Chain A
Amino acid sequence: MSNMTHLERGTARRLLAGELTAEQARRIADHLDGACERCEALLAEETCGLDGPVDRALLALGPAAGKPGNDLEWARIRRQLGIRRRGWLVGLAAAAAVMLVAGVSLRIFQHDPGPWDGVKGSAGAPVTARLRFSVVLPGAEPSLARGASGLTIPEEASLLFRVEASGPADLALLRVDGGELVWQGRATRAGAIDVEEQGRPAAYPLRGLRGRQRFALVAAPSLGPARLEAARAALASGAVPEGPEPLSLDVVEVTVR
């Protein structure tokens, strides 16, 4: 910035970045307090970091009357992003839940413990949480099986998860190998929680997955985004997540064929 008369390219950006002295800032303020078409022209042309906040403020003057989103457009965006749809199976899960209540006998799939070396640990954690699951097979008469780590499961099946927590805790269910956050919730007291989507029991579809799939339940009294991300990264690299206080961690593994 030279002798302060008009803004020059980059001046606004440097001001916002805190790179100017207080005296320089005062001179800019004094100059911009007067109507200066030249500076306005420069600001109209130059992106300096104020554009988003100013537009938001302008648009906040009135109702947010833009067209709302729609499923078709969202599908196009998702396709461009390459997001594979893995929607929860709400209806099927609800039917399975009814079967459970009705006491329908459970069929056990082939149980092959295999070489699993999954992480399981909650030593010293202020709360502990366990991950349980049932296997739902679709069809005219959906069947339900009690889940156990090490099961081999056909890909048309889906998983119905249940969390048992020893006390109030933030909970996150991750698919370890895909680094996917499958579900997030909170236990307000000790007890069991069925994983739900939009208030209804929901089953996680396995279609499209192959081979070993590990699901990790991470729990802590407070599990912020940073800690959750650290836990996800640690699990994905095969490490046990670390932190200021121990996390409760329960991992189950199934093989999808």
Chain B
Amino acid sequence: MPELPTELDDASLVARARLGDAGALRAIYDRYRPLLQRVASSFAELDPDDADDVVQESFVRAFRNLGGLAAPERLGAWLVTIARNRSLTRLARRKARQEMQGELSREVEARGDEVAEMPDPEAALELDVVRRIVAELPEGPEKQTVHLFYVEGQLSAREIAERLGVGKSAITMRLERFRARVKRRVLAEVARLRGEGSPGRGDGR
């Protein structure tokens, strides 16, 4: 019996998509569309139409570059990275238009879409770190925002701004600040694991 694309894991879907299987591309789109839309909606300055455009651009960009994806089993993380970069690019272009400052747009455009190729045991630690950080957050606006956006997961950043009665940029800033903290902690964990292992290839100097 033929295996439906929807039943395949990410790596198999990518393999089929690279062979030109349109069904596999559609399955990737269906699987990750909600996630990418959430990424775009974490930027309160983007309205729902912007977010939809970001999603569409992200899939087009991803499918055009599928051949260059080095770790197909990390397809989701790669797509999320692309969606985030597309969101930032859109925001930067808007800002550049508004302020006549093209520099910012060029800077964000230069961001890569790479995904860390870490061994699986390290890849698994991200979720643990995130859960710990959320649990440790002190009560306050940041925790409230993080909870509404990531834990309840129903509202966009724009809708959270309306609900909390604060500016859109404040919500984006809270989410971005929290995300940077998560990155720092994940990087610290990775560094600790690397520090426990054998010496690295280079001397880093």
Contact = CB atoms under 8 A, between A and B. Distances in A.
Interface of A: 1, 12, 14-16, 18-26, 28-29, 32-33, 35-36, 39-41, 43-44, 47-69, 73-74, 76-78, 80-81, 83, 85-86, 174, 178-181, 183-186, 188, 193, 195-198, 225-226, 228-229, 232
A14 B39 CA distance: 26
B111 interface: yes
A84 B126 CA distance: 39
Interface residues of B, number: 88
Contacts of B60: 77, 80-81
Contact of B183 (A44, A78, A80): A44
A196 B23 CA distance: 13
B119 to A, nearest CB: 10
A29 B187 CA distance: 8
Contacts of A59: 35, 38-39, 80, 150, 153
Contact of B115 (A28, A43, A52, A85): A52
7 closest Cβ pairs, A-B complex: A62-B153, A225-B15, A52-B77, A66-B37, A66-B34, A49-B116, A26-B195
B185 interface: yes
B68 interface: no
A21 B77 contact: no
Contact of B194 (A18, A67, A68): A18
Interface in B156-197: 176-177, 179-192, 194-197
B204 A21 contact: yes
Contact of B84 (A32, A55, A186, A198): A55
Nearest to B205: A1
Interface of B: 1-4, 11-12, 15-16, 18-22, 25-26, 29-30, 33-39, 41, 52, 55-56, 59-60, 63-64, 74, 76-81, 84-85, 111-112, 114-118, 123, 126-127, 129-131, 134, 150-154, 176-177, 179-192, 194-205
Given A18-B201, A44-B176, A181-B19, A29 B78 contact: no
